[in-house]
Amino acid sequence: MTANAPLPKPASRAAALAAALLLSACAVGPDLPKPGPIASRHYDEGAERRLAATPGPSDAPAIALGTPASGDWWRAFRSPKLDAVIAKALAGNHDLAAADAALRRARDLVAVARGGLKPQLDLGADAGGARSAQGGGAAGTFYAVGPRVSFDPDLFGGLRSGVTAQDALADLEAHRTQAAYLTLTGDVAATALQLASARAQIEAVQALLADDRRTLDLVRAGHANGAATEADVAQAETQLAQDETLLPPLEQQRDAARHALSVLAGEGPADWSAPDFDLADFDLPSALPVSLPSDLARGRPDIQAADARLRVAAADVGVATADLYPRLQLSASVVGAGPGALWSLAAGLAGPISHGGSLKAKRRAAVDGYDAALASYRQTVVRALGQVADLLQAVDHDGAEHAAQAHALAAAQASLDLDRQGYRAGEVDLLRVLDAERARQRALLGEIRARAAQRLDAIQLGVALGGDPGDVLGRPPAAAQLSWEQTR
């Protein structure tokens, strides 16, 4: 058959029908509402205004509003110990490894879906035999071996919508991996800080208990000399017993934090132990980067995941819409080679006539699913804005609390210095000095907790703002999702 030879009539009709359907297919497709960009210009104007200045009397770090979030946000604390533990966790955490494997699987399924848009080439073989039904006739056998080609031109975009859905599902897995990364790094930093805070408080409580024991020894000696009563002794013993209850919970916090760091690093607590962290290992940044609300979606994996679910729902509408229209299947095969080769060309067209309204109901259900995904997306954005606003207020309030606790500690230290001077001058008894030492230790506990709270909220703010971890994990960052306006 030559290149200029006319097509057989069935094939010509099928081609003409395909061309007509392709022209009419341009009008098919869902017209769905789109979420648009984030319209908010602020998280919390009051907190932003107070934190935008350089650190002042409130002792809170400033914020650099409009600075993009970084994938390695924890490096702002300038802690080599923290850098090392997070690096180990990124390399050994099994939840992150599972997220990576799920992402690779999703990307492989995209390749599977895209392959369905291309012609399918197979090798077919047929064999059989025949004999005359009247008997006595000679038996015959036949066989055929050759390539077979099939192609679905996807007139109304059903296959392409399926590929779009699979692409969105792969993006969803990418954002889940990003969420696992942010969760892991945030958990490691927060747990390391809890370990440092517990160790600092344990040291302060141990000093407090030492003061209590000295006080009890002095009271007992005074009772023996008639200078103190049994009630004084009982009071000193009660105070020691009450302060001793502070130590076990702190030791439990310390040990639990150590075990948690081992687990986050993918190791058993008996197999690997994190270094001892101190509060001095966490420098509070003088300025915290805070991306603008309009840029928040690029750093928050939950918003990007909600966007991916929305695109899956839109693709489902496209698939359900295409199911309402006919589907054309083209196929061709060749048997043998050379002048004796036999070839065939076929076109099959099938379209729905009556399905009891199920196909239209399926499309309505897909549109309803899209509406639900759109509402979920918008609520995810609102929730993210609220979380960042809460953390900005927390950073501001933490600064005020730490300033107050630092003032209380300074006042307790000044009172202790005066009492010690008075004791050396013979104007103050020893018990008053010991009470001043205990007051100073209690003020120190409050200051330690306030310092830890400042750093913890700074950690949570870094996680809440997100950031692309691609460069940190050693792979290219995920492609930024275009806005709905850019894709239409």
**57 SS3 class:** coil
* Residue 130, pLDDT score: 60
Distance between CA 347 and CA 151 in Å, rounded? 10
Structure tokens at 333: 């095969």
The pLDDT tens digits for 69-90 are 788 889 989 999 999 999 999 9
Give the CATH superfamily of 37-120+154-327+358-487: Outer membrane efflux proteins (OEP) (1.20.1600.10)
Would the pLDDT of 187 be above 90? Answer: yes
Distance between CA 59 and CA 388 in Å, rounded? 20
* Residue 161, pLDDT score: 74
Distance between CA 465 and CA 461 in Å, rounded? 6
Structure tokens at 165: 């859905």
Mean pLDDT, range 250-261, rounded to an integer: 96
Q: What is the DSSP string of 3-29?
A: TTSPPPHHHHHHHHHHHHHHHHHTT-S
Distance between CA 159 and CA 150 in Å, rounded? 15
Would the pLDDT of 390 be above 90? Answer: yes
How would you write 240-294 as a 3-class SS string? HHHHHCCHHHHHHHHHHHHHHHHHHCCCCCCCCCCCCCCHHHCCCCCEEEECCHH
Output the average pLDDT for the chain: 80
**Per-residue pLDDT band at 138 (split at 50, 70, 90):** low
* Residue 233, pLDDT score: 87
User: pTM score > 0.85 for this model?
Assistant: no
Structure tokens at 403: 């300033």
What ranges do the domains of the chain cover? Answer: 37-120+154-327+358-487
The pLDDT tens digits for 205-249 are 999 899 889 888 888 988 888 877 888 889 889 889 999 999 999
